[in-house]
Amino acid sequence: LLSPPPPPPPLPPLAIPPAFSAHHERIAMQNIQHSRPWVDHLHNFKDTQYFGKIMIGVPPQEFEVVFDTGSTNFWVYSAKCQTGNCVRHHQYDSDTSETYHVNGTGLRLRYGSGIINGFLSFDTLELGPYHVNNQIFCEVMYEDGPAFAFLQADGILGLAFPSLSVSGVTPVFENVLQQHVLPADEFSFHLSDTEGGSKVGAIVFGGIDPKFQDRPFLYVPVVGNTYWKVRLDDIKMNGESANMCGDAGVSFHGRPCEVAIDTGTSMITGPSRDIARILDSFNLEPDCSNLAELPDLAFTIAGHDFVLTAQEYVMRTGNTEEVMCTPGFMPLDVPPPHGPLWVLGDVFLRRYTATFDRKHMRIGLAEASGSKQHS
């Protein structure tokens, strides 16, 4: 495989192609006719990946993507790639789309466990009944890393803030805001807790769906404009402070404790020193025999304890005859200026539904309907 090129310089502003103006006017009228939030059901792959359906181009080409609040760029596999994992996924074919517009600038994206390399293109994006004009995205030609070897989806649609966008590429939700696509500048997640289980996972674009929550949302202001992160007051085990954030919510690094709510991370991550303390206190048996002895773990946000039981933070693998248990925690030392940082991933979001409100720059958290605590 070819080595990925260095990151390209920021892109200059690009005008909307005038040849598409009539098409865009029709799309705007279609968006106005829909005034309700759109619920996209999320497929659960072994409690580690959640992905839903989108369409690109005219006529539409269907893809399943991870909706990731921990990154910003948007990419799918390109039909021009005929090697590696590309061919086992749905691939975008610009030659068949009437609304494709060439860009061609190279783009390299680095994730926590791998990199991708490709080039930029423009096309119409469909989120259910809603259409986004001239959305720029990356057609992937190269990938490397364990995360992509096991990726079930056809791409990633980032939903974090524009400041994280590589090469200044306009993110999907920025276009959603600028084009006034949705009835509300908000999206929410509800993750299922077992593959094929009765609790249905979903992302809701344009608002919330009350059927996915058992209690009202607790809204917390977002800190900064990078990740969807909030202040973390404390971390507790069985109701007692673990002294990881201090009396004033300050970590041992001397910075305020902060936590990102990340739909693209399957586990809970934190500074290696703190994660080591948590894991040492658990002493989890691989055969799951001591689950009942493990403590409850709580993340205190805005004065409210968001509790996880051992049944919720322990991940199970294997089959019905032989099940193995591993803690759903992983050390991750995020360097300044974005870190140190805790990350509450899917392990947390199976218990608590979350809504991400761009208009008011806040995150809402609520007990999810059908969570193990209430089933």
Please state, in angstroms and rounded to a whole number, the distance separating the CA atoms of residues 154 and 83: 15
The β-bridge partners of 343 are 260, 269
- What is the Cβ-side half-sphere exposure of residue 336, based on CA atoms within 13 angstroms? 5
Handedness of CA 229, 230, 231, 237 (dihedral sign): negative
Cβ atoms 300, 232 nearer than 8 A? yes
What are the CA-CA distances from residue 176 to residues 133, 154, 171, 234, 277 (Å)?
9, 21, 9, 35, 42
The β-bridge partners of 315 are 326
**Dihedral of the CA atoms 80, 105, 110, 353 (nearest 10)?**
-80
What are the CA-CA distances from residue 161 to residues 39, 149, 150, 261, 345 (Å)?
22, 27, 26, 13, 17
Active-site residue list: 68, 262
